[in-house]
């Protein structure tokens, strides 16, 4: 049965004297029943095409399920007089959030198993999800005394959350309800007030509100409103619980304001006045003999950031020039975060494309000790550390071959204690897998890191089927991560590779800047160079090579499909940003104006318009795309970050040009796809079945 025909209904768009006829823009009207019916028909047809892969999909699902300990608990985290944890139950889609009272063991986490004695259930997501096809928990916060819990829930997938409060002494929800909030809440320590944010019509968090528990939401007080459409706002409570932190940020500029948590109605204090092009964040710290100060991580004259020490602001903003440098700028080290506890400070950074952390005593901030686990490719990150006075920090570690593990690093001694390693059932042996990094050379001579992982023996019959993954935007780094679903690919002889292309943050701010705005093409040519490197060095061949990426990585997928169609056998583009020019031209669409500092402003700049039109996947589908690789585009109807219309239009244009393209659309989900772990495993299994079919069944191209 042929694919449902997508009718052409030409619409004209004119900018900077350029007239564009768009045959499929009519698909944007999500309220039109004809559009919804068409999308459902497209999805039904794709499901029918994928049905032949059902046995493989089901096998992959069972492998994911069989390797996962379905009834499990996280390592408890102490806050106040309670140990908090999350547990899962076999057969249940969602986790349960609970706690037990802290005993006399101090900071030694209790050994929990099953349903612990004395457990108090805070939230059972399974109960909250009843009656809904989709459920996602947003921000949560609990008072230090453990009396009140604030939580957000989304049952649509559009990332607009209902904020509610639970009395943890009775387990009952309070009558207070605040609708249409955006993720993130901050409860004052006394549980009397909560700060939250709301979005404008473009889905931009732009207002911070204060709600007093026990009063109507209509009486909530507007604390901060950001009129500049490039900026968004966020809110949180610092670790000492002395300050409510209000952040205002764009892609290039930020400003922080502090509200005393003990006086939540006070006027917010600006730390540093906003300066165009300067980003900063703050961390309160108490120093011996100096009292409370602020550690400020900023990039003023320091592209890879530096850390300075300054006072706590009064009524007027502080002078940045009066700050004292604590961690100087380095060209080869990108500083990413600073966290202060009572006795030590933790620095998060990356060097040689690898994330790392180091610790120093508050009285010796020039003496840092790195925390490492000895793997050449590894991710080491600071875990949840809610108490300023805790004598240890939680450290997370994983790699492409090592399952995630959680450790306590004892600050006084430097001892590292393993608390838990995620179990992988079925006898997983990391020694049966290998990982390494290679370097491809881009057309301009830049060396591009490529990470690889494979099962031992897979290369004995090289070239091997290979999946190349990429992203390349927002300075987001693809650090080494372990994946249970990936094991099913590796065990079938697939090599998994990651191209750390420009636009990401792996090699510092320069790496990001050289893959955005009018340098965005580097992201695409870097990925092609990585793919060509894998072919030239004998890892694989074009008919055994597939590519995958999502969101901004989906833009990457669409671009390389046009740039190098014969280099790939198949491409999976998840929630793909493949019609960027149309979206970025329309400031009324969700998140558009905030994106101008990432992609450029084609609405007002003819040069940016021409540049974006030159790489937009939708704009550049050739008239004859019969030479394109097999393409699977996956999306969700309620996605507010990349609207479903982008992949829908792209697939329509690809098919009209003769490309073998499928559109898979979830009608009850958002940007992150379906909710619930079993539903998510099914989705992953379906996508991986398609990828394996591409890689192992070469005749199907």
Residue in 255, 64, 26 with CA at minimum distance from that of residue 685: 64
- The token pair at 97 is 């959030």
The residue from 154, 671, 675, 693 that is catalytic is: 671
DSSP string, 47-105: HHHHGGGHHHHHHHHHHHHHHB-SSEEPPPEEETTEEEEEEE-TT-SS-EEEEEE--SS
- Can you read off the two tokens belonging to residue 90? 């076999």
Question: Is the preceding omega at residue 463 within 30 degrees of 0, hence cis?
Answer: yes
Q: Is 131 left (phi over 0), alpha (psi -120 to 50) or beta?
A: left
Specify whether the CB–CB gap between 168 and 148 falls below 8 A.
yes
Residue 37, C-beta contacts closer than 8 angstroms, at least 6 positions apart: none
Active-site residue, selected from the candidate residues 551, 583, 616, 636 = 551
Q: Are strands 661-666 and 630-636 parallel, antiparallel or unpaired?
A: parallel
- For residues 3 and 227, give the distance between their C-alpha atoms in angstroms, rounded to a whole number: 46
List all residues 6 or more positions away from 2 whose beta carbon is below 8 Å from its beta carbon: none
Q: What is the DSSP string of 583-615?
A: HHT-TTSTTHHHHHHHH--TTT-HHHHHHHHHH
Question: Exposed e or buried b for every residue in 14-33, given b needs 16+ CB within 10 A?
Answer: eeeeeeeebbbbbbbeeeee
CB 351 within 8 A of CB 507: no
* 337 contacts 348 by C-beta, under 8 angstroms: yes
Residue 317 tokens, joined:
């903003």
Output the CA torsion 534→540→542→544 (10° steps).
Answer: -140
Of all helices (H) and strands (E), which one includes residue 280? strand 280-287
306 is written with which tokens? 């530096």
DSSP for residue 272: B
State the Cα–Cα distance between residues 497 and 556, nearest whole angstrom: 15
- Phi then psi dihedrals of residue 199, to 5 deg: -105, 160
The alpha carbon of residue 230 and the mean position of all alpha carbons in its chain are separated, in whole angstroms, by 20
Whether 551 is catalytic is yes
Alpha-carbon distances of 31 from 6, 23, 37, rounded to whole Å: 17, 19, 11
Buried b (16+ CB within 10 A) or exposed e, 556-589: bbbbbbbbbbebbbbbbbbbbbbbbbbbbbeeeb
CA dihedral of 125, 128, 130, 131, whole degrees rounded to 10:
-140
Catalytic residues: 551, 639, 671
């Amino acid at each position: 049965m042929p694919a449902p025909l997508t009718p052409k209904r030409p619409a004209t768009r004119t900018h900077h004297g350029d007239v564009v006829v768009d045959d499929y823009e009519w698909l944007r009207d999500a309220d039109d029943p004809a559009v919804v019916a068409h999308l459902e028909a497209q999805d039904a047809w794709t499901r029918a095409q994928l049905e032949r892969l059902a046995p493989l999909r089901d096998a992959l699902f069972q492998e994911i399920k069989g390797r996962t300990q379905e009834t499990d608990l996280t390592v408890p985290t102490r806050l106040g007089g309670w140990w908090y944890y999350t547990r899962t139950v076999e057969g249940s889609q969602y986790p349960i959030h609970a706690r037990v009272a802290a005993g006399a063991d101090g900071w030694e986490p209790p050994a929990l198993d099953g349903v612990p004695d004395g457990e108090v259930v805070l939230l059972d997501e399974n109960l909250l999800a009843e009656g809904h096809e989709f459920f996602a928990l947003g921000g949560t916060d609990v008072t230090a005394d453990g009396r009140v819990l604030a939580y957000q829930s989304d049952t649509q997938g559009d990332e607009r959350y209902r904020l509610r409060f639970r009395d943890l002494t009775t387990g009952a929800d309070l009558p207070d309800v605040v609708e249409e909030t955006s993720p993130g809440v901050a409860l004052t320590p006394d549980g009397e007030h909560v700060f939250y944010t709301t979005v404008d019509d473009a889905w931009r968090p732009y207002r911070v509100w204060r709600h007093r528990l026990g009063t109507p939401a209509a009486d909530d007080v507007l604390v901060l409103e950001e009129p500049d459409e490039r900026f968004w706002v966020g809110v949180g409570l610092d670790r000492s619980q002395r300050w409510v932190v209000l952040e205002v940020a764009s892609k290039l500029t930020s400003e922080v304001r502090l509200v005393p948590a003990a006086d939540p109605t006070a006027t917010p204090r600006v730390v540093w006045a906003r300066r165009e092009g300067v980003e900063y964040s703050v961390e309160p710290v108490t120093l011996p003999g100096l009292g409370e100060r602020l550690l400020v991580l900023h990039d003023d004259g320091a592209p890879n950031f530096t850390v300075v020490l300054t006072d706590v602001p009064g009524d007027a903003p502080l002078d940045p020039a009066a700050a004292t440098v604590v961690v100087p700028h380095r060209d080869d080290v990108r500083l990413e975060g600073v966290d202060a506890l009572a006795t030590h400070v933790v620095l998060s950074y990356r060097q040689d494309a690898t994330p790392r952390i180091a610790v120093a005593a508050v009285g010796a901030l020039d003496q840092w000790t790195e925390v490492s686990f000895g793997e050449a490719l590894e991710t080491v990150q600071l875990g949840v550390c809610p108490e300023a006075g805790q004598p240890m920090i939680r450290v997370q570690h994983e790699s492409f071959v090592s399952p995630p593990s959680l450790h306590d690093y004892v600050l006084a001694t430097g001892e590292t204690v393993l608390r838990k390693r995620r179990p992988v059932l079925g006898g997983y042996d990391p020694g049966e897998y290998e990982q390494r990094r290679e370097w491809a050379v881009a057309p301009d001579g830049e060396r591009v890191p490529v990470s690889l992982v494979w099962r031992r023996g897979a290369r004995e019959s090289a070239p091997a089927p290979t999946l190349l993954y990429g992203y390349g935007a927002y300075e987001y780094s693809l650090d080494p991560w372990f994946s249970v679903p990936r094991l099913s690919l590796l065990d079938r002889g697939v090599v998994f590779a990651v191209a750390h292309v420009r636009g990401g943050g792996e090699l510092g701010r320069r790496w990001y800047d050289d893959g955005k705005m009018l340098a965005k093409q580097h992201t695409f040519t870097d990925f092609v160079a990585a793919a060509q490197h894998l072919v030239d060095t004998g890892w694989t061949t074009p008919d055994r090579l597939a590519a995958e990426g999502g969101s901004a990585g989906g833009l990457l997928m669409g671009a390389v499909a046009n740039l190098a169609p014969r280099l790939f056998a198949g491409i999976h583009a998840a929630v793909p940003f493949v019609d960027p020019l149309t979206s970025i031209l329309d400031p009324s669409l969700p998140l558009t104006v905030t994106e101008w500092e990432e992609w450029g402003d084609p609405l007002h700049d003819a040069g940016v318009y021409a540049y974006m039109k030159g790489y937009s996947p939708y704009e550049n589908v050739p008239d004859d795309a019969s030479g394109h690789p097999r393409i699977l585009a996956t999306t969700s109807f309620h996605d507010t970050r990349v609207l479903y219309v982008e992949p829908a239009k792209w697939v329509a244009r690809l098919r009209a040009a003769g490309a073998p393209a499928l559109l898979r659309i979830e009608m009850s989900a958002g940007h992150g796809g379906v909710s619930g772990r079993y539903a998510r495993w099914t989705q992953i299994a379906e996508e991986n079945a398609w990828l394996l079919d591409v890689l192992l069944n070469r005749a199907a191209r």
